[in-house]
Chains A and B, each alone.
Chain A
Amino acid sequence: MPSELEGAMESLIKVFHRYASKDGVLCRRELRELMENELSNFLRSQKDPAAVDKIMKDLDTNGDGKVDFEEFVSLVVGLSIACEQCYQIHLKKTGKK
């Protein structure tokens, strides 16, 4: 049975491929759909077209106008860092640290 962390990686891969049609990469529209549906709680500006463009540009490191899985992982890393910082702030506020 996979561990929690392994399960998390599996579900990231599944989510990516749910939106990346047969070509295995996300175009702008697919990235927007993914952000709207899958990050609705994390990203409040996910319906802002300028934000989608900016994230697309940041992620697309090879400049082909598409987001492949490797580039998508950078989004996950960025969100994890933001999430971790929130958590630390929360800990400090509640005085548990």
Chain B
Amino acid sequence: MTDMEAAIKTVVTTFISSSKGKDNLDKKGFQKLVSKQLGGIMEDTNSSSAVEELKRGLDENNDGKVSFQEYLSLIGYVANSLSQSKCGTNADAS
């Protein structure tokens, strides 16, 4: 498997293991995912009110849960800002 394929696999399996195979992440599952997996690059990941706020922003269909697609928009957003902050300082990261 290539680096990129392994990265995609991680994105998918992180969601699946946090949702325990269900289609959506509930409040608890989402808080756990954010605090465990995104604590290094996002702020306030241990604050349940901040994470709840984030969840509300992602929850496009307002069902109180985070679907796989809604999770992917978070990943996309975080990856974009990460890329922008990296390119600002050193374009030759690799």
Residues of A within 8 A of B (CB): 1-18, 22, 24, 34, 37-42, 69-70, 73-74, 76-77, 79-81, 83-84, 87, 91, 96-97
Contacts and interface: CB of A to CB of B under 8 A. Distances in A.
A40 B3 CA distance: 11
A2 B40 contact: yes
Interface of B: 1-12, 14-16, 21, 33, 36-41, 68-69, 72-73, 75-76, 78-80, 82-83, 86-87, 91-94
A65 to B, nearest CB: 20
A79 to B, nearest CB: 5
**Could you tell me the dominant secondary structure of chain A's interface residues?**
helix
Contacts of B73: 77
B12 A84 contact: yes
A38 B4 CA distance: 6
Contact of B38 (A6, A11, A84): A6
Contact of A76 (B6, B11, B68): B11
B72 A16 contact: no
